[in-house]
């Protein structure tokens, strides 16, 4: 943008952000058919249809708006993020919309496909000099040295999402369900990375008095399930998640256990098995976090059927299959990490055919 008054620049920046993509149409709500789920409607809210290809787009959009209106991002601000994942891709997109330079400080072994996506969206990346656990602080220091702005999605996403005054993903879900036979689902299911998405949905359910319950799926090594189960707000595992986009080695500020009704721990090999089922049977090209979510959906459907209740389940999936051909969809990659999805594929196949689920209690 050309040099203008800071307030006029901010107003134009907000206009550009709001005009991008999702203001035009909600993301699809797809029906998922499973013979064993007779009596339970399953809907997948496909956030990979967002312009940057993941549900992180909504959070980064809110963070950019919040930073612009707060005066933290101005016409000549350099923006930095400490990730090579979907947050970096979305941040690169919004920075390009505002004609601002963006740099992602990426951990070692970030897949080349992810790096290419950052570049395609107009950003640049540089390798971190510190191990993954220290990349946040390294990036904060890099941003400070250059006088730039550190887009801290773990610390700021939930606060920015709460301040967002446009339709939320929960608003979209209930608007899309109005014409269906079950306009209020029994459950909404999502994963937790920053925790902001589950916080947004949980707040909506309480604000509007919805009868719907919120379930969060959590991969191995993550602190969220043990923190929710134990009530320990500062729980930490010290181990990174192997399911990109969800799970954290520590409880992040945006995770609000009080708005969550159930957290479902999911083995990583089960996430891979469910991702493969989505690809091979349902024809949905989703990533491993979507597999984690599907495993949780099966658990809930089995519980509902065991209780003799019908209803519906809405699950958020937000990662496309792009970038996982050489990782979670690679037999060699799985063997190197001692992950064997075969037993879980058998469990999932048995459930789809018979409704028998080993963890339906």
- Residue 267: the pLDDT is 97
Angle CA 118–124–125, to nearest 5: 90
- Residue 113: the pLDDT is 86
Domain boundaries, the chain: 9-54+167-354, 56-159
- Residue 2: the pLDDT is 52
Is the per-residue pLDDT at 166 higher than 50? Answer: yes
- Residue 361 pLDDT class (50, 70, 90 cuts): very low
CA–CA separation, 320 and 47 (whole Å) = 9
73, 152, 190, 221, 299 from 319: Cα distances, Å: 28, 20, 12, 20, 21
Is the per-residue pLDDT at 22 higher than 60? Answer: no
CA–CA separation, 223 and 220 (whole Å) = 9
CA–CA separation, 89 and 62 (whole Å) = 15
Helices 196-207, 169-177: axis angle to 10 degrees equals 50
- Residue 324: the pLDDT is 85
- Residue 23 pLDDT class (50, 70, 90 cuts): low
Q: May I ask the CATH class of domain 9-54+167-354?
A: alpha beta
CATH number of 56-159: 3.40.50.1100
Other CB atoms within 10 A of residue 186 CB: 21
- Residue 325: the pLDDT is 83
Other CB atoms within 10 A of residue 67 CB: 20
- Residue 359: the pLDDT is 61
In sign, the C-alpha dihedral spanning 356, 244, 135, 58 is: negative
CA–CA separation, 249 and 220 (whole Å) = 10
CA–CA separation, 78 and 90 (whole Å) = 15
pTM beyond cutoff 0.85: yes
Is the per-residue pLDDT at 1 higher than 60? Answer: no
Domains 9-54+167-354 and 56-159 share a fold: yes
Q: What is the mean pLDDT of the segment spanning 207-225?
A: 97
CA–CA separation, 149 and 159 (whole Å) = 17
pLDDT, tens digit, for every residue of 323-353? 788 889 899 999 999 999 999 999 999 999 8
Q: What is the mean pLDDT of the segment spanning 144-148?
A: 96
Contact assessment for residue 164 and residue 62, using Cβ atoms and an 8 Å cutoff: yes
Other CB atoms within 10 A of residue 84 CB: 26
User: What secondary structure letter does DSSP report for 36?
Assistant: G
196, 210, 218, 272 from 226: Cα distances, Å: 18, 27, 10, 22
- Residue 64: the pLDDT is 98
Greatest CA span in the chain, whole angstroms? 65
pLDDT, tens digit, for every residue of 57-72? 999 999 999 999 999 9
Is the per-residue pLDDT at 315 higher than 90? Answer: yes
3-state secondary structure string across 101-145: CEEEEECCCCCHHHHHHHHHCCCEEEECCCCHHHHHHHHHHHHHH
- Residue 24: the pLDDT is 63
């Amino acid at each position: 943008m050309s040099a203008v008054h800071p307030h006029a620049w901010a107003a134009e920046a907000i206009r550009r952000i709001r005009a991008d993509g999702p203001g035009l149409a909600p993301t699809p709500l797809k029906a998922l058919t499973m013979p064993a789920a007779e009596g339970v409607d399953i809907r997948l809210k496909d956030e990979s249809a967002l312009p940057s290809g993941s549900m992180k787009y909504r959070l980064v959009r809110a963070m950019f708006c919040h930073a612009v209106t707060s005066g933290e991002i101005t016409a000549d601000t350099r923006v930095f993020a400490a990730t090579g994942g979907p947050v970096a891709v979305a941040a690169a997109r919004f920075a390009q919309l505002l004609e601002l330079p963006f740099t992602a400080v990426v951990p070692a072994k970030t897949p080349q496909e992810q790096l290419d996506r950052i570049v395609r969206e107009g950003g640049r990346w540089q390798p971190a000099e510190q191990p993954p656990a220290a990349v946040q602080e390294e990036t904060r220091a890099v941003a400070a040295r250059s006088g730039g702005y550190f887009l801290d999605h773990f610390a700021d996403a939930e606060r920015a999402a709460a301040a967002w005054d446009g339709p939320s993903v929960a608003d979209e879900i209930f608007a899309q369900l109005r014409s269906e036979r079950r306009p209020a689902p029994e459950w909404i299911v999502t994963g937790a990375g920053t925790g902001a998405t589950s916080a947004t949905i949980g707040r909506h359910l309480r604000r509007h008095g919805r009868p719907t319950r919120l379930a969060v799926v959590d991969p191995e090594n993550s602190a969220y399930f043990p923190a929710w189960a134990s009530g320990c707000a500062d729980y930490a595992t010290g181990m990174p998640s192997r399911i990109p986009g969800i799970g954290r080695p520590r409880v992040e500020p945006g995770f609000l256990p009080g708005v969550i009704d159930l957290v479902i721990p999911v083995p990583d090999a089960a996430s891979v098995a469910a991702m493969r089922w989505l690809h091979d049977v349902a024809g949905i090209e989703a990533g491993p976090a979507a597999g984690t979510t599907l495993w949780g959906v099966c658990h809930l459907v089995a519980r509902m059927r065991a209780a003799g209740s019908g209803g519906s389940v809405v699950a958020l999936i937000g990662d496309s299959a792009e970038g996982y051909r050489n990782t979670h969809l690679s037999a060699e990659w799985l063997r190197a990490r001692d992950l064997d999805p075969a037993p879980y594929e058998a469990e999932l196949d048995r459930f789809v055919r018979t409704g028998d689920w080993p963890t339906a209690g």
